[in-house]
Amino acid sequence: MKVKGVDSAKISRIAPRGGPRSRARIAYGSAPHSESDNVAVSPEGRLIGMAGEIAAETSDIRQERIQPIIDALAAGRYDISSLDVADKILRQMLRDRKRTP
């Protein structure tokens, strides 16, 4: 069974495939049989899953925000003060420092 967003390699290190019951069957020599698991997902869980899928399909870049900058750069009209850049960098560093425990 595949679960979106779950690394099966990590899970298999925690719980080997088949789990303790399969080892018990092998140890006692009984023939393996088919087992099935049932999972019920709440409406909220489905909504979260749908949101995750939409977020994965959506670009992190908002083209409508950066296109004017790209156009200005291409035309040689993009001019920004190095003091403004330095100010933004320092402000961001201070914000990050406040958030870090």
pLDDT-based confidence at residue 5 (cuts at 50, 70, 90)? low
Please report the pLDDT score of residue 60 as a whole number. 82
- Portion of the chain with pLDDT greater than 90, in percent: 41
Phi/psi at 59 (nearest 5 deg)? -70, 145
Please report the pLDDT score of residue 24 as a whole number. 46
Distance between CA 13 and CA 7 in Å, rounded? 11
Distance between CA 55 and CA 48 in Å, rounded? 10
Q: Dihedral, CA atoms, 56, 38, 19, 24, nearest 10 degrees?
A: -170
Check residue 41 and report its DSSP letter: -
User: Residue 64: pLDDT above 60?
Assistant: yes
Residues 6+ apart with CB under 8 A from 31: 25
